């Protein structure tokens, strides 16, 4: 007989981004910028004790901002989502920004923890871990290769209509 899994598990992601920490920080804490790289709505009260919500009506992750150190560290403590099994620990995402690799470069580390090892949490764990791997990659691309605004095409110059060119 298998023993029940009773501990917690976590994940780690690293993105080396060719952008200064201030730009990476803004991309993590300004709702309009979060929407660009995450593809989801964002509501952020950017301060210690504030709220951090990303998602839509069907699937939204909501957290309290526990640590807010601009350009250095952002730690989120998540509320348990509706319909999730009970969990004895807090689910945490800790973003650490490091610029020691040179000016204009940021190492962004994400350390996630507190997800139950119970089988009932397996799908959630996989969704969150894979979601952050993809999200960090999109964040890197959004900061290093921002979309360029294409000029609007000019309408063709048309000759005046006879009789209306007065």
For the stretch 34-93, pLDDT in tens is 999 999 999 999 999 999 999 887 778 899 999 999 999 999 999 877 778 888 889 999
**Residue 3 is assigned to a structural domain of this protein:** no
pLDDT of residue 129: 95
Q: Quote the domain boundaries for residue 107.
A: 10-144
pLDDT of residue 81: 76
Per-residue pLDDT for 147 more than 90? Answer: no
Q: The whole model's pTM is what?
A: 0.82
**Residue 32 is assigned to a structural domain of this protein:** yes
Q: Could you tell me where the beta strands, DSSP code E, fall in the chain?
A: 8-17, 42-44, 51-55, 60-69, 73-78, 91-98, 106-116
**Residue 155 is assigned to a structural domain of this protein:** no
The number of domains in the chain is 1
Give the whole-angstrom CA distance, residue 33 versus residue 145.
14
**Residue 156 is assigned to a structural domain of this protein:** no
**Residue 160 is assigned to a structural domain of this protein:** no
pLDDT of residue 131: 93
**Residue 83 is assigned to a structural domain of this protein:** yes
Give the tens place of pLDDT for each residue, 122-135. 999 999 999 999 99
**Residue 150 is assigned to a structural domain of this protein:** no
**Domain CATH number, residue 103:** 3.30.530.20
**Residue 165 is assigned to a structural domain of this protein:** no
């Amino acid at each position: 007989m298998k023993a029940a899994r009773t501990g917690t598990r976590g994940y780690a992601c690293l993105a080396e981004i060719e952008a200064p920490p201030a730009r990476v920080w803004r991309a993590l804490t300004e709702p309009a910028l979060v929407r660009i790289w995450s593809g989801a709505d964002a509501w952020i009260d950017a301060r210690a004790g504030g709220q951090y919500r990303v998602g839509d009506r069907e699937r939204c992750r909501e957290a309290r901002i526990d640590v807010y150190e601009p350009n250095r560290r952002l730690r989120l403590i998540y509320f348990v989502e509706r319909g999730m099994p009970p969990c004895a620990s807090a689910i945490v995402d800790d973003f650490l920004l490091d610029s020691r690799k040179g000016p204009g470069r940021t190492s962004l580390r994400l350390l996630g923890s507190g997800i139950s090892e119970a089988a009932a949490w397996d799908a959630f764990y996989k969704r969150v871990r894979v979601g952050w791997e993809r999200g960090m990659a999109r964040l890197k691309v959004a900061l290093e290769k921002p979309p360029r605004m294409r000029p609007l095409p000019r309408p063709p110059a048309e000759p005046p209509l006879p009789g209306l060119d007065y």
